[in-house]
């Protein structure tokens, strides 16, 4: 049995399950495992190349695209965070689009361009991405954490949305809308646009709920971190199964609004403040009007980036452990193929059981 949805049809994939974007970390092995298991693998907006060294994001993305396409014949995608704070964002779009265009195998297989954390228009307005869109079957999705942001994605001509609720791990939004309400809102207003539900998904029952609410698939971050195939450190993975859903908090800092595992690092950061305050702070940073000197800002960015990489490499005390509330429903570390098979089987069971209510 398989689940056939608008997402499996759009991408020609077996299962409507994607791996979520998890920059700034390298997620190429995970992307390959998800794609090979019949899902939609994701190359994150990373600052890490294949050997784990910290590098320029443009260099990293191109190398990671090459690595993934060499190791699978399936379909996968990439993420670009289009935030105002992303350094060289247009250059990244230009070079990535040209790089895919220049490789026939990438043109066939890299069909999922996911933007997030910024404008939904930035990618489709770029002439190099427009050329790529004309010549290939690539589809552009953008992350929508609130209804008004979903409206903007639709207006920008996105092919689909990743509807991400506040339960989700890592990069979050000030909008603070839970996935259950958000999916219903977006489905009511935009019933026809393809949707991937994201944030808090880790089981077949959750997937069945997402499909019932109008999504054509789910994306998962935390569930795939806790897999044998992900590149995250064993200590990071071992945080997941014993943790409870309430063991995370949403904090601020130069990493943005992020959901973190509650540890020494997370508690040392400011808790999430108002949207207006955060927007003003970001604008001031972009305009170089901050009270904080450029040097101090660079130092803060360096420290937070260091904390993120420290966790990825196993420091669970001082590291920034990006993770979602779904840790409360993840009971063991499994292989990606087992995770996907189990979720599909359980989702089918849940959908059939629910169908028994219909008389
Ligand atoms: C370690 C980590 C890094 C993340 N980095 C990004 C990112 O670079 N871009 C992005 O759009 N979302 C990012 N996110 C958010 C995920 O794409 C996704 O919304 C989240 O993992 C969904 O919740 P879940 O963990 O419950 O599956 C990150 C999440 C995690 C856990």
Residue 162 CA, closest ligand 1 atom number: 19
- DSSP conformation letters of 23-91: TTS--HHHHHHHHHTTSBEEE---SB-TTS-B--HHHHHHHHHHHHHHH-SS-EEEEEE--TT-TTHHH
Give the Å distance between the CA of 357 and the centre of ligand 1.
Answer: 35
Here the tokens at position 22 are 């998890």
pLDDT band at 285 (very low <50, low <70, confident <90, very high): low
Residue 275 has pLDDT above 80, yes or no: no
Mean pLDDT of 61-75: 97
Q: CB 283: neighbour CB atoms within 10 A?
A: 12
Integer Cα distance of 65 and 140 in angstroms: 17
Does the beta carbon of 143 lie inside 6 Å of ligand 1? yes
Does the beta carbon of 89 lie inside 6 Å of ligand 1? no
Give the Å distance between the CA of 171 and the centre of ligand 1.
Answer: 5
Does the beta carbon of 323 lie inside 6 Å of ligand 1? yes
238-252 pLDDT tens trace? 999 999 999 999 998
Residue 45 CA, closest ligand 1 atom number: 8
Mean pLDDT of 86-90: 86
Crossing angle for the helix pair 89-101 and 57-71, to the nearest 10 degrees: 30
Integer Cα distance of 29 and 349 in angstroms: 30
Closest CA to 161 of 129, 189, 194: 194
Residue 164 CA, closest ligand 1 atom number: 19
- The torsion angle over the Cα atoms of residues 335, 111, 67 and 97, rounded to 10 degrees, is -150
In this prediction, residue 281 carries a pLDDT of 67
Here the tokens at position 211 are 């499909």
Give the Å distance between the CA of 74 and the centre of ligand 1.
Answer: 22
Give the Å distance between the CA of 258 and the centre of ligand 1.
Answer: 9
DSSP state of 272: P
Mean pLDDT of 194-210: 98
List the beta bridge partners of residue 271.
251
In this prediction, residue 191 carries a pLDDT of 98
Domains of the chain, CATH where assigned: 6-240+330-355 (3.20.20.70), 245-312 (no CATH)
Mean pLDDT of 3-18: 98
Give the Å distance between the CA of 359 and the centre of ligand 1.
Answer: 40
Residue 64 has pLDDT above 90, yes or no: yes
Give the Å distance between the CA of 352 and the centre of ligand 1.
Answer: 30
Nearest 5°: phi and psi at 16?
Answer: -80, 55
Closest CA to 93 of 80, 76, 77, 109: 80
What pTM was estimated for this model as a whole?
0.94
Helix or strand run (H / E) with residue 116: strand 110-116
47-63 pLDDT tens trace? 876 566 677 899 999 99
Does the beta carbon of 330 lie inside 6 Å of ligand 1? no
Does the beta carbon of 14 lie inside 6 Å of ligand 1? no
Crossing angle for the helix pair 204-212 and 336-355, to the nearest 10 degrees: 50
Residue 293 has pLDDT above 80, yes or no: no
Here the tokens at position 76 are 């996968």
Does the beta carbon of 133 lie inside 6 Å of ligand 1? no
**Under 8 Å between Cβ of 169 and 323:** yes
Integer Cα distance of 155 and 339 in angstroms: 35
């Amino acid at each position: 049995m398989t689940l056939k949805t608008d997402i499996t049809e759009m991408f020609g994939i077996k299962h409507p399950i994607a791996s979520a974007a998890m920059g700034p970390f390298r997620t190429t092995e995970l992307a390959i495992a998800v794609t090979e298991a019949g899902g939609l693998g994701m190359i994150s907006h990373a600052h890490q190349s294949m050997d784990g060294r910290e590098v320029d994001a443009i260099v990293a993305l191109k190398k990671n695209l090459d690595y993934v396409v060499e190791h699978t014949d399936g379909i996968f995608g990439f993420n670009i965070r289009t935030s105002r704070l992303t350094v060289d964002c247009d250059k990244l779009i230009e070079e990535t689009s040209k790089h895919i265009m220049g490789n026939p195998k990438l043109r066939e297989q890299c069909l999922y361009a996911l933007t997030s954390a910024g404008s939904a228009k930035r990618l489709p307005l770029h002439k190099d991405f427009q050329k790529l869109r004309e010549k290939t079957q690539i589809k552009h999705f953008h992350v929508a954490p609130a209804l008004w942001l979903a409206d903007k994605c639709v207006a920008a001509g996105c092919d689909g949305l990743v509807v991400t609720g506040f339960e989700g791990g890592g990069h979050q939004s000030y909008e603070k809308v839970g996935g259950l309400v958000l999916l219903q809102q977006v489905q009511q207003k935009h019933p026809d646009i393809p949707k991937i539900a994201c944030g808090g998904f880790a089981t077949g029952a959750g997937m069945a709920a997402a499909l019932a609410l109008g999504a054509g698939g789910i994306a998962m971050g935390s569930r795939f971190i806790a897999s044998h195939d992900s590149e995250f450190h064993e200590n990071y993975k071992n945080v997941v199964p014993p943790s409870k859903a309430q063991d995370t908090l949403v904090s601020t800092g130069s990493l943005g609004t992020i959901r973190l595992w509650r540890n020494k690092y997370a508690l040392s950061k400011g808790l999430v403040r108002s949207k207006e305050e955060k927007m003003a702070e970001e604008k001031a940073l972009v305009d170089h009007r901050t009270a904080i000197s450029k040097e101090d800002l660079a130092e803060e960015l360096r420290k937070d980036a260091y904390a993120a990489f420290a966790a990825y490499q196993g420091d669970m005390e001082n590291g920034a452990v990006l993770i979602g509330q779904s840790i409360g429903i993840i009971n063991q570390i499994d292989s990606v193929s087992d995770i996907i098979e189990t979720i599909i089987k359980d989702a089918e069971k849940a959908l059939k059981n629910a169908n028994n209510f219909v008389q």
